[in-house]
């Protein structure tokens, strides 16, 4: 039989209170993290939208720069050769950047413990 002082809860009652407190705590934590995720998700969405807008403007500026290069070279070598020169130079730069990017991605994806 369980012996306890008068007016004080027994072990079973204390265990039930602990379980109830843990459930309330878990619900409160879940609600907090849902609210936090909603707030951060909104910020992330706005950030992604702004980054895409910036990337679009950068792309437009690069196109304008390349067209300007073609127009600048056209009087000296003709429009066809100017276009070819700009396209080949742009593809060369893009392939160098691409190779560096692939190297970095491979380095980032290497197995743990492998130094390089």
Tens-digit pLDDT string for the chain (116 aa)? 455 566 788 888 889 999 999 999 999 999 999 988 888 888 888 999 999 999 999 999 999 999 999 999 999 999 999 999 999 999 999 999 999 999 999 988 888 887 75
3 domain-assigned: no
Residue 115 lies in a domain: no
Chain center to CA of 47: 10
pTM for the model stands at 0.59
What pLDDT score was predicted for residue 1? 41
In a domain, 89, yes or no: yes
45 part of a folded domain:
yes
Q: Could you give the maximum distance between any two Cα atoms of the chain, in Å?
A: 106
Structurally, how many domains does the chain consist of? 1
Full residue range of the structural domain in which residue 75 is found = 11-108
1 part of a folded domain? no
> Would residue 103 count as lying in a domain?
yes
Q: Is residue 49 part of a domain?
A: yes
Q: At what angle do helices 11-77 and 79-108 cross, to 10 degrees?
A: 160
Whether 86 and 76 have beta carbons less than 8 Å apart is answered as no
């Amino acid at each position: 039989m369980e012996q306890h002082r008068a007016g004080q809860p027994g072990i079973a009652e204390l265990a039930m209170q602990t379980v109830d407190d843990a459930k309330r705590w878990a619900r409160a934590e879940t609600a907090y993290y849902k609210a936090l995720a909603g707030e951060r998700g909104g910020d992330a969405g706005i950030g992604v939208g702004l980054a895409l807008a910036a990337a679009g403007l950068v792309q437009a500026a690069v196109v304008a720069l390349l067209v300007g290069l073609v127009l600048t070279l056209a009087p000296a070598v003709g429009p066809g050769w100017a276009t070819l020169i700009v396209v080949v130079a742009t593809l060369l730069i893009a392939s160098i950047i691409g190779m560096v990017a692939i190297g970095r991605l491979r380095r980032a994806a290497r197995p743990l413990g492998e130094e390089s």
